[in-house]
Amino acid sequence: MTAASTPKGERRRQALVEAAAQLLAEGGFEAIRHRAVAERAALPLASTTYYFNSLDELISAAVEHAAQAELEAGRRRLAELTEEHHNADSMIELMLDLLLGTRSRDGGLDQVLLRYERLVGSPRRPYLAPLMRELSARLHDLLTEILAHFGVDIGRQHLLELIMLVDGAVVNALIESDPDPRATARRVLHSRLG
């Protein structure tokens, strides 16, 4: 069964999803294993197969959970913006937070790496494709809203170009000897929006 019909069951199922999302953030798709998830959630191994028909289903739930949380955090950031920070710099930093993750601020690489592994690893997991497209569309919407909020009126095509530039900057920064993808991406955004 893939659904719980009892409050406690629902709580356990959710605990598994959150544990899987944590593992995803820490070690990528490959870190989501039945045993690892169960241990992280302090539940028995078989609970993972009881609430999810397969590992893929669990991975999907984890990806969706993680992405929803990221989008919500972004919306909260947008809502909390005060007038005093209405400059291009803070807009760009907010965009970078959404595209690369907030942990990239202090030079951390792991979160950036995970995001691009997720991106590139998705075609190998066909069951993720519709979900990824949906989440990608929502992210684009949010970015458009953010730009609009800062008075930047941007067309869909121009936004996609911006995202392409950032992504290209990141994947190329990843193999440098002292990688700082956020700095590279920031330079790109400044040259286009700054």
Partner DNA sequence: CCTTTATTGGTACGGTCGTCCCAATAAGTG
Partner DNA sequence: CACTTATTGGGACGACCGTACCAATAAAGG
Under the rule (CB under 7 A), what is the footprint of DNA? 1, 4-10, 12, 32-36, 43-50, 54-55
Binding of residue 169 to its own copies (CB under 8 A): yes
What is the nearest approach in angstroms of DNA to the Cβ of residue 86? 47
Stretch that binds its own copies, among 68-76, 97-105, 125-133, 149-157 (CB under 8 A): 125-133
Select 25 or 32, whichever has its Cβ closest to DNA.
32
Rule CB under 8 A: say whether 160 interacts with its own copies. Answer: yes
What is the rounded distance in angstroms from the CA atom of residue 165 to the CA atom of residue 168? 5
- 183 lies in the site for its own copies, by CB under 8 A: no
How far, in Å, CA of 55 to CA of 20, rounded?
10
3-state secondary structure of 142: helix
Judged by CB under 8 A, the stretch of 7-15, 17-25, 60-68, 108-116 that binds its own copies is 108-116
CB atoms near residue 4 (< 10 Å): 15
Per-residue tokens: 163: 């995202």
**What is the C-alpha to C-alpha distance for residues 163 and 157, in angstroms, rounded to an integer?**
10
Q: Of residues 55, 116, 152, 159, which one binds its own copies by CB under 8 A?
A: 116
Between the alpha carbon of residue 88 and those of residues 19, 76, 81, 93, 113, the distances in Å are: 37, 19, 13, 9, 26
- 63 forms part of the interface with its own copies (CB under 8 A): no
CB 58 to DNA: min, Å: 8
Quick one: CA dihedral 121, 122, 123, 128, positive or negative?
Answer: positive
* By the rule CB under 8 A, 139 interacts with its own copies: no
| Binding site partner of 4, from its own copies, DNA, none, Cβ cut-off 5-8 A by kind | DNA
Nearest partner of 40 among 49, 31, 50, 28, judged by Cα: 31
Give the nearer residue to DNA in terms of CB position, either 9 or 28: 9
Q: Which does 2 bind (CB under 5 to 8 A by kind): its own copies, DNA, none?
A: none
Q: DSSP assignment of 119-131, as one string?
A: HHHGGG-GGGHHH
Q: Which residues here bind its own copies, judged by CB under 8 A?
A: 109, 113, 116-117, 119-124, 129, 132-133, 136, 160, 163-169, 171-172, 174-177, 179, 188
